[in-house]
Amino acid sequence: MTAKIDIRHIPHATPTPADVRAKLIADPGFGKIFTDHMVTVRWSADKGWHDGQLRAREAFTLDPAAAVLHYAQEIFEGMKAYRTPDGEVLLFRPLENARRFNRSAERMAMPALPEEIFLQAVEALVRADVDWIPGGDGASLYLRPFMFADESFLGVKPAGSYVFCVIACPVGAYFKGGAKPVSVWASQDYTRAAAGGTGAAKCGGNYAASLIAQAEAIRNGCDQVVFLDAAEKKWVEELGGMNVFFVFDDGTLQTPPLTGTILPGITRDSIIKLARADGMIVNETPYSFAQWQADAASGRLREVFACGTAAVVSAIGTVRHKEGSFTIGGGEDGEITRTLRARLTAIQRAQAPDTMGWRHKVVV
Ligand SMILES: *Cc1c(COP(=O)(O)O)cnc(C)c1O
């Protein structure tokens, strides 16, 4: 049995002319330029998933009482489509996004979306907007599947209707300055997620809660915030939207374990698998902020990097906190960071054999 649905194509009346599009995707930045189309699929308690549409990207009409505006039932995913040197279009482990989307949905009391429909919608949008995939180094088409509750009702309960949507942005590098290490602010006043909370779900609310800490990071001259655990304010968890890895002088790697308060990144998982396949030891064990400071001072800690779909792999060079600051690896992009970034991006862009079976070709 297949769970696929019909996605009705409603032609775009005024698609962006090719010359305008070419200018837009030449230097797209991140998250500012959107493609012509979107896919929407609706869910209601009586009909289930229905009314799939591929159509012009346009504003939603929302009732002021729509549940998402009041109780924040909203989840999302982030993934990329890559254009290869041969002109093929590839997704990277898209079923992992579909599965995580459903784990997020379950936590937020939202309906599960069959993995086939998730993939069908993403592929339909990539196909419709294939000419928006930038070809440049480090460029890709960022895909944003998301779901929100649109029932108008002010009672506190899981909503009875939802919209699933996919939009896309041509993107370049996430951090301006490319491979230059980023600085992070260790937040001691704000936490991101507590045990039993929504830290492992990719929901908009987690980001809303992180923005004040991110603003504090910027005020303190840092690019990003790194969160400590909510219970003891002792253990390093992750950045606002990226997982974190530590590299030691004996060649081992360490990353905080997935205990429910950390987002299980697909990049994190891929880095762990690639490093282990290369014979490296990766420990998924807690790492305290005090130990981080001590290991940076002693030189035992050689490299630190953050990773996620948007920013890929970014070295962390400087850490600031209320009592001071310290640097790692002389503020340079380290060798293992560089190697793992190159290994991952080569697989994503079909510049290396797909030994893990991670590439997913979109027939365009
Ligand atoms: C999306 C996200 C990540 C990275 O996940 P990837 O699957 O690697 O893109 C890490 N942390 C948070 C909080 C996230 O929302």
Annotated domain spans of the chain: 7-171, 182-348
Atom of ligand 1 nearest to the CA of 310: 9
**Alpha-carbon distance values, 182 to 78, 306, 331, 333 (Å):** 21, 9, 9, 10
Among 161-175, 178-192, 223-237, 329-343, the range of highest mean pLDDT: 223-237
Interatomic CA distance for residues 349 and 91, integer angstroms: 9
- 115, with CB counted inside 10 A (0-12, 13-18, 19+), is middle
CA 177 to chain centre: 20
| pLDDT class of 172 with cuts at 50, 70, 90 | confident
Is the pLDDT score of 315 beyond 90? yes
User: How many angstroms separate the alpha carbon of residue 293 from the centre of ligand 1?
Assistant: 25
Ligand 1, pocket-test mutation among 309, 340, 341, 344, most atoms within 8 A of CB: 309
Q: How far is the CA of 49 from the centre of ligand 1 (A)?
A: 26
What is the distance of C-alpha 281 from the center of its chain? 25
- The CA 309 to ligand 1 mean position distance, Å, reads 7
Task: Tell how far the Cα of 338 is from the centroid of ligand 1, in angstroms.
Answer: 20
Does ligand 1 lie within 6 Å of residue 293's CB atom? no
Mean pLDDT of the 140-149 span: 98
CA 310 – ligand 1 centroid, Å: 8
Of ligand 1's listed atoms, the one at least distance from the Cα of 309 is 9
Q: Find where tokens 């045990």 sit.
A: 195
3-state secondary structure of 193: coil
Cβ–Cβ under 8 Å, residues 354 and 327: no
State the Cα–Cα distance between residues 106 and 103, nearest whole angstrom.
Answer: 5
> Are 118 and 165 contacting, i.e. CB atoms less than 8 angstroms apart?
no
User: End-to-end alpha-carbon separation of the chain, Å?
Assistant: 25
Does residue 309's CB lie within 6 angstroms of at least one atom of ligand 1?
Answer: yes
Q: Establish whether residue 169 lines the binding site of ligand 1, counting it when its CB lies within 6 angstroms of any ligand atom.
A: no
The residues with which 265 forms a beta bridge, in sequence order, are none
Q: How far apart are CA 79 and CA 122, in angstroms?
A: 10
**Residue nearest atom 2 of ligand 1, based on CA coordinates:** 241
Mean pLDDT score, 329-333 = 79
Residue 269, pLDDT score: 98
Ligand 1 pocket test, pick from 96, 243, 259 with the greatest ligand atom count within 8 Å of Cβ, gives 243
Confidence of residue 1 (pLDDT cuts 50, 70, 90): low
* pLDDT score of 178: 58
Query: Taking all residues of the chain, what is their mean pLDDT, rounded to a whole number?
Result: 95
Is the shortest distance between the CB of 266 and ligand 1 below 6 Å? yes
For ligand 1, pick from 202, 203, 225, 348 the residue to mutate: most ligand atoms within 8 Å of CB. 202
Looking at domain 182-348, what is its CATH homologous superfamily?
D-amino Acid Aminotransferase, subunit A, domain 2 (3.20.10.10)
Closest CA to 87 of 130, 144, 139: 130
131 CA from centroid of ligand 1 (Å): 27
Phi/psi for 97 (5° steps) reads -65, -40
Q: What is the pLDDT of residues 242-280, one digit of tens each?
A: 999 999 999 999 999 999 999 999 999 999 999 999 999
Q: Kindly report, residue by residue over 100-125, the tens digit of the pLDDT.
A: 999 999 999 999 999 999 999 999 99
pTM reported for the whole predicted model: 0.97
Asked, colleague to colleague, whether 7-171 and 182-348 share their fold, the answer is no
Residue of the nearest CA to atom 10 in ligand 1? 242
- Give the position, in ligand 1's atom list, of the atom nearest the Cα of 238: 11
The DSSP letter of residue 330 is G
Tens of pLDDT along 45-69? Answer: 999 999 999 999 999 999 999 999 9
**CA-only gyration radius of the chain, Å:** 21
Q: Which of 224, 242, 259, 340 to mutate to test the pocket of ligand 1 (most atoms within 8 A of CB)?
A: 242
CATH topology of domain 7-171: D-amino Acid Aminotransferase; Chain A, domain 1 (3.30.470)
Q: How confident is the model at residue 329 (pLDDT cuts 50, 70, 90)?
A: confident
Residue with more model confidence, 174 or 23: 23
Ligand 1 and 79: CB distance under 6 A: no
Distance 302 CA to ligand 1 centre (A): 24
Lowest mean per-residue pLDDT among 173-177, 191-195, 284-288? 173-177
